[in-house]
Amino acid sequence: MDFDVVAHGIVAGSLYALVAVSFNILYRPTNVFNFAQGELVMLGAMIFASITSLAGMPWFVAFAATLIAVGLIGLVEERVAVAPILARSQTGTGWVITTLAVSLIISNLVGRVWGPDPILVKPPQPLSMETLDLGPSHLSSYEIALVLVTIVLVAIVESAYRTLKGKAVMAVAEDREAALLRGIDPGSLGRWSFFLGAAFAAMTGILAAPILYASTALGPDLLLKGFAAAAVGSIGNNRGALIAGYIIGITEAVGASLLSPGYQEAVIFIVVLTVLLVRPQGLFGSPNARTV
């Protein structure tokens, strides 16, 4: 077993974990799985790629600008496609269709702005995609940085939920009306979480671009694997998302070295399905005790 294979699996897994975390951020106060998430990641990558090649803006400026731009798009999505559904009923499920519709709209609009070709995105100085010879594995400085940054980001997000604002979010997730009665505004929290979740997704796209190339086809694959990582790691649990991301990334990498493409997909699917059947609440969640 090549350590190199596992190393690449961890790199890919970090990306899936980041997508899963962005899912979780959106999910917490709204209980909505955003089917347009993959498109938001893609938008982050594409907008960033275009800005850096257009004006040659420094990396960090472009980074911030992209995050804000996509965050706003997420906000628009919340206002138009999610809030009205939630307002009708807490347990409404129309958001599946509306977020799917948003993903349709976005993916068709981007086809008009950008062609199908990938745009090269270079990592920020001093990192690069040049691979370093680290004994048994070949990773670039950028890939190593990516794995570390992911862990740091997950830690930051987790600690954010320990603050009062973070607890408020979890309260809304538990019971929207009760939280309202305690003076917490679920509407504003919902808006913020979509803004931040979309910005986080954009960031994931930017981080993924040097490795996966910024192209309009980036969305669907990341959507599915990110969702898988979120589900296996228990929706809402970011540490779980990180570990689940690694599991999926490594499974994929190992499968690639051993199996033909159809079976590769099947193996990932079987792993995810098995985990969910054995523990329907994910690896790290607690089952819902009271239902009646």
Partner 1 sequence: MMPLRAAAPLALQAAALAVALALPAFVGANSYALFVATQLGIYTIAAIGLNLLSGYAGQVSLGHAAFVAIGAYSVALLTVDHHWSFWAAAAVGMGLAAGLGVLAALPAFRLNTWYFAFITLAFALVFEKMIVEWRWLTKGFAGVVGVPPPSAFGYEFGPRPLYYTVVLVTIVAFVIVRNIIDSRFGRIFVAVRDVEPAALAVGASPQRTKLVAFVISAALAGIAGAFFAVQKTVVTPDDFTADFSIFFLLTIVLGGLGTLWGPIIGALVFFLIPELLTGMESWRMFIYGVILLGLMLFAPHGLYGALRQAWRRLTPPTPRAPAEVAQRTEHPPIAGLSLEISGLSKRFGGVLALDGVEFSAPAGSCCAIVGPNGSGKTTLLNLASGYYKPDAGSVKIGGIETLGSSAQKIAARGVGRTFQTPRLIAGLTALDNVVLGAFMRERASLLSIALRLPYARQEARRLREEALGFLHFVGVADRAETEAGETPHGQQRLIEIARAMMGGTRLILLDEPAAGLSMVELERLELLIRRICNLGATIVIVEHHLDLVANIASYVVVLDHGTALAAGKPASVFNDARVMRAYMGERALQAAAPA
Partner 2 sequence: MRPTPAVPLLCSDVINRRALLRLAAQAGAFAAASPGFAQQQQPFKIGWIRPTTGRLASSFAPLYFGGLIAVNEINAAGGILGRQIARAEEDDEASPAKEPGIVRKLREQDIGCFVGPTGSSQSLASIAATTSSKVIQSTYAAAAEAGDGHKYPYHYQIMFNTDQQADVCVDYMVKMLGLKKIGILQENTAFGEQATAATKAVLQSRFGLTPVSEQVYPIAAPDLSVYVANLQKAGADGVIGWIANVPNAAMIFNAMKTLKWFPPVAGHSGLMLPALFDLVPAEAVKNVFATYYRNFTWSDTEQPGTRQVEFARKLTQYPEARGFEVNVAAAPYYDFLYCMKAAIEAEKSFEPEAIKRGLDNLKNYKGLLGDISFTPDRHSGVGVKDVVLVSVASGQDARAMGCMRARAPGQ
Contacts to partner 2 by CB under 8 A? 2, 4-5, 8, 11-12, 15, 50, 53-54, 111-120, 129, 131, 138, 211-213, 215, 217, 221, 252-253, 256-257, 260-262, 264-265
- C-alpha–C-alpha distance, residues 218 and 270, integer Å: 23
- C-alpha–C-alpha distance, residues 149 and 145, integer Å: 6
Residue window 264-283: x/- pattern of binding to partner 1, with contact defined by CB under 8 A: -xx--x--xx--xx--x---
Any residues with CB less than 8 A from the CB of 95 and at least 6 apart, and which?
A: 32, 81, 82, 85, 86
- C-alpha–C-alpha distance, residues 130 and 259, integer Å: 28
Site size for partner 1, by CB under 8 A?
41
54 binds, among partner 2, partner 1, none (CB under 5 to 8 A by kind): partner 2
194 binds, among partner 1, partner 2, none (CB under 5 to 8 A by kind): none
206 binds, among partner 2, partner 1, none (CB under 5 to 8 A by kind): none
90 binds, among partner 1, partner 2, none (CB under 5 to 8 A by kind): none
Nearer to partner 1, 3 or 269 (CB): 269
- C-alpha–C-alpha distance, residues 286 and 282, integer Å: 8
Residue 116 lies near partner 1 (rule: CB under 8 A) = no
Closest approach of Cβ 115 to partner 2, in Å? 5
Nearer to partner 1, 108 or 125 (CB): 108
Q: Are 35 and 171 in contact (CB under 8 A)?
A: no
Q: Which of 3, 72, 79, 93 binds partner 1 (CB under 8 A)?
A: 93
- Could you give the angle at which helices 141-160 and 238-258 cross, rounded to 10 degrees? 150
Closest approach of Cβ 275 to partner 1, in Å? 11
Residue 109 lies near partner 1 (rule: CB under 8 A) = yes
- C-alpha–C-alpha distance, residues 118 and 139, integer Å: 22
Closest approach of Cβ 90 to partner 2, in Å? 37
Find the length of the chain.
292
Joined tokens for residue 164: 């009062």
Nearer to partner 1, 147 or 231 (CB): 231
Residue 164 lies near partner 1 (rule: CB under 8 A) = no
DSSP 96-128: HHHHHHHHHHHHHHHHHHS-SS-B--PPPTT--
